[in-house]
Amino acid sequence: MKTGASASSSQQSSTHRTRRIIEKKKKKETTVTTTTTERRRRRRSIAKTTKTIGFFAIHFCVISLTLWWCWCSALVKVSAVTMTTKSPYHGVSSDQSKYAELAFANVPGFTRSKLKPDYAMIAHESRVYGGLFGWENTNGAYVVSPGMNKATILMTMVSMNTKAKSHLPLPGAWRFAFVLDGKCSIRYKDEDAEAEATKEGLTAGEYFYFPMNTEHEIYTDSDNQCELVMYEAFTKPKLNGKPDEFPTGQKVIVGETDSLPNIETPGEIFRLKKLLPQTLEYDVNFHVMDFAPGETLNVKELHHPQHGLVILEGQGIYRLNDDFMPVQQGDVIYMSPWVTQWYGALGKNRTRYLISKDTYRDPLRDSNP
């Protein structure tokens, strides 16, 4: 009996071991199956996530390229005028294809333009063109106006298409314009001859000045476009006169810059031309100043007259108070009274700039109109 019981017990023990081995194998197989399933699920999740990221990345690139193309297209289409002529001042004009060749262009989000309480520097890329009130077939960008700083002048970059016509300035305001590129004509009432006078085919470097209340028109024909920089301001009362007494004897002036002689400037080495008469009737003058590379202003100027300046050629460093600013062709600078100013010409070519300057008027009256 003991022998049979022992055999039965041994058989049961063997059966239990076999069951345990089978259960362990099943658990292992289940674990392996679960692990494999989990890995497959994770791989599918990663693949799905990768596809999603790729989808959005491709769309982001497409949208970015589309916006970049639209932005570049918008730059090109700022003005309808595409000049066929190429004057030395062409880079000052509204032609964006020429501006793209200049330094600092097309850097996203960057501009050298700066507005301070006493001065402003407006780089070419910061101009905003739109229609000019009363003008026909013309776009303009206001770069200096009485709404900024202490300015009493309006300075406009004018882009005239073919068959363009100007509009008169406000009563009491004079107008000066300098031709940058293309060709335009003017007609005006000649007070001396008591008849209409016409000057046709004005080109780069030529300029004209209309005294207050002078009837005139600036226009282009069907074959020509024209780019101008234009200044306007209300005429100030005459020197030593009553507040409502204005100068008489001003004339319409039409001239050509390079035909004028240089004026001696003691202590300085730059070349200076003054475009208007240096007489008491005129409360403003316009200077063209030329610097060879490496030449600078000797005097670090600090004075009452305001300035409106445009770089016609070249590049350099302009000091405005404590800022030393890189400037180049097409940049516009406004300086209110009592701004420290200095210029140094850099690069391989000359710098030429046009600058306005108040003249022959009482600073006390300017400060207390």
**Mean pLDDT, residues 47-73:** 56
How high is the pLDDT of residue 1? Answer: 45
pLDDT > 70 in the chain, percent? 73
Angstrom distance (rounded) from CA 95 to CA 131:
16
Which band of pLDDT confidence, cut at 50, 70 and 90, is reported for residue 36? low
Domain map of the chain by residue range?
29-77, 90-367
- The total of other beta-carbon atoms located within 10 Å of residue 122's CB is 25
Angstrom distance (rounded) from CA 253 to CA 360:
18
How high is the pLDDT of residue 51? Answer: 62
pLDDT at 364 over 70: yes
**pLDDT-wise least confident of 21-25, 127-131, 171-175, 195-199:** 21-25
pLDDT at 189 over 70: yes
**Mean pLDDT, residues 190-218:** 92
Q: pLDDT digit string (tens) for 281-333? A: 999 999 999 999 999 999 999 999 999 999 999 999 999 999 999 999 999 99
How high is the pLDDT of residue 112? Answer: 92
How high is the pLDDT of residue 197? Answer: 94
Which band of pLDDT confidence, cut at 50, 70 and 90, is reported for residue 239? confident
The residue with greater pLDDT, 173 or 105, is: 173
Which band of pLDDT confidence, cut at 50, 70 and 90, is reported for residue 93? confident
How high is the pLDDT of residue 77? Answer: 39
How high is the pLDDT of residue 339? Answer: 95
Q: Which two tokens stand for residue 42?
A: 């994770």
pLDDT at 4 over 60: no
Tell me: domain 90-367, CATH 1.20.1740.10, correct? no
Which band of pLDDT confidence, cut at 50, 70 and 90, is reported for residue 104? low
pLDDT at 151 over 80: yes
Q: Average pLDDT, whole number, for the chain? A: 83
Residue with tokens 């600036």: 218
pLDDT at 83 over 70: no
pLDDT at 130 over 60: yes
pLDDT > 90 in the chain, percent? 59
Chain centroid to Cα 281, Å, comes to 35
pLDDT at 369 over 50: no
CB 211, CB 277: distance < 8 Å: no
